Amino acid sequence: MRLGKTMSWCCLTSGNERSAIEISRLRPSDDGAKRYQNSAALLIFMRRTTTLNPEPITSNVIYETKGLSLSKRRYRWKRIFGLVFTLAVIGIGSAPFLWVSDGKVIPGVTIHGTKAGGATEEELKELFSVKNADLLHGRLVLTKEDAHEEISFRSLSVRYDEKAIEKAMALGRTGGLFQRWYDRWRILLTGHNAAIDASFDEKHLTEDIAQLAAKYAKPPVNAKPRFGKDGSVSFDEGRPSMKIDKAALEEAAALQLKKGESGEVEIPATDIQKPNMTKEAAKEINAVLAEYTTTFYPGGNRSRNIEIAANSISGRYIAPGVSFSYNQATGSRSSANGYLEAPVIINGKVEPGTGGGVCQVSTTLFNAVILSGLAVTERTCHYSPAPYAPIGRDATVAEGSLDFCFLNHLKHGVYIYAVYEPGAVTVRILGNQEDKPSFVEIARKSDEILPFKTVIRVDPSQEEDKKVEEGHEGHNVLVTQSVKWADGRIYHDSFFSDYEPVDTVITYQVKPEDPPEPSAPPSPKAVKKGA
């Protein structure tokens, strides 16, 4: 085999040893052939016995490893990395203890939204001094439906004291070494709003809650209207009645006070009795829609019955779409409810009865209702015209049979306000200014007069020689209601009244020799138009 003059070095490395085989120029001779064979055999032997993979034999290339081996370089980098990691761990572990100065709040702390990290004790005192000044204006609000009570922070001495400063300074400084390290890192990374409790006068709070419970244990108080000189209407708030759990309320109030923030606490209560209307409803009533007054002779049982009936309907709130019943509002006209015996009209005759006078209140209410534009749903006239109201504009009631009712078809609620005074009773319908009519007309459109006659009787049992019971004419009357509002609403209604005629009755003890002839019924009169 002929290889030419090229010299090749094959480096076979085992450990730190190196071997080189020189392959010289080969001549075509026996000795040369033997040397070549021996060299080739040695090469094959070394390839089979070496523990490392040799580099391939390549002519004209020298393979030589300079410096450190790959394994040593890897080892060196591992040591460097380990050293850096160790130093980082040591730095991270010791950092929270190096950056936090003694006598200062640790970084990342806020107190009720104010940054306090790094603050000294003196700076904390100044911070809490500012917050204490703000607390003087705080209020504890206690509510339950329409119940609303407020207690000032000033009266309860709500403030931050020395304990609050101590708690702020102790953040990240309690517990074992690991706990402190953990707390400081956590606060630094995520922040911490310190839940520092404010102090307050616990004895004063207990007394205030006791007074509150006693107040609401009383019967409910309805909202009362106030009338301005300009015709405006406003309301004093009503008050419900309820049984308050004092212990539970004190606990809930204490939790709110410790926050150092004004806040609302719901009153834990049972057996709640509401006032006549809610605060929201009271705010909507700001005007007098209409009012009406009737008069009477003061004093006596009838006057007392009028007062009781007026007080029974006063303060009634009727929400939109709700009906009102006079009999339900006044209740039974019995002595148990305070009503006294007074004259009542039965079938055109005046007779004694319990509750005489209540019809004057229902009549006064009827006129106020139609003047305000409300819708009457039930009304009955008296047997005879009432002397305290225009003909056709009365409304009689009788327990269990005759009632006066109306429907609130307005946009807002209405409030009945009745005032009794000796000799007069006034009913006002209060509501929203938007529902106040811009035009109202209550007109008597027709009045048909029905005649009466004179009747002669003899009654030997009577003491008087002659007794006269005066009669009166009857009437068929039509009254109309026309109402308009500024927003274009229109409402019309009519009320028919049929008053029966009552005959004049003359009764003699003894039949007279020449008794007067019974009067013939007069000829019917023409129907009167207008009022």
> Which pLDDT value is given to residue 445?
94
Using N-to-C axis directions, what is the helix angle for 300-313 and 358-372, rounded to 10°? 40
Q: Pick from 204, 201, 209, 219: which is nearest to 245 by CA? A: 209
Alpha carbon distance 244, 43 (integer Å)? 108
Tell me the average pLDDT across 384-390: 93
Alpha carbon distance 199, 157 (integer Å)? 8
Alpha carbon distance 79, 86 (integer Å)? 10
Identify the CATH number of the domain defined by range 121-274.
3.10.20
Residue 158, token pair as written in the block: 């709500």
Question: pLDDT by residue (tens digit) across 431-443?
Answer: 999 999 999 999 9
What is the CA 530 to chain-centroid distance, rounded? 53
Question: pLDDT by residue (tens digit) across 498-507?
Answer: 999 989 999 9
| 236-250, 361-375, 398-412, 517-531: the lowest-pLDDT one | 517-531
Alpha carbon distance 160, 112 (integer Å)? 12
Tell me the average pLDDT across 147-156: 93
Collapsing DSSP to helix, strand or coil, 452 comes out as: coil
Q: Contact, 74 vs 82, CB < 8 A?
A: no
Higher pLDDT, 334 or 54: 334
* Number of residues assigned to the chain: 531
Is 242 a residue whose pLDDT tops 50?
yes
Q: Contact, 250 vs 206, CB < 8 A?
A: yes
Dihedral (CA of 422, 427, 431, 434) sign: negative
Q: Contact, 274 vs 146, CB < 8 A?
A: yes
Residue 356, token pair as written in the block: 């005489």
Calculate the alpha carbon distances from 312 to 197, 299, 417 in Å: 52, 19, 10
Binned at pLDDT 50, 70 and 90, residue 327 comes out as: very high
Alpha carbon distance 129, 97 (integer Å)? 29
Question: pLDDT by residue (tens digit) across 473-508?
Answer: 999 999 999 999 999 999 999 999 999 998 999 999
Alpha carbon distance 209, 495 (integer Å)? 56
The structure tokens 């309820």 sit at: 242
Alpha carbon distance 129, 159 (integer Å)? 9
Q: What is the DSSP letter of 97?
A: H
Residue 175, token pair as written in the block: 């517990």
Tell me the average pLDDT across 250-272: 94
Domain boundaries, the chain: 1-66, 121-274, 285-448+475-497
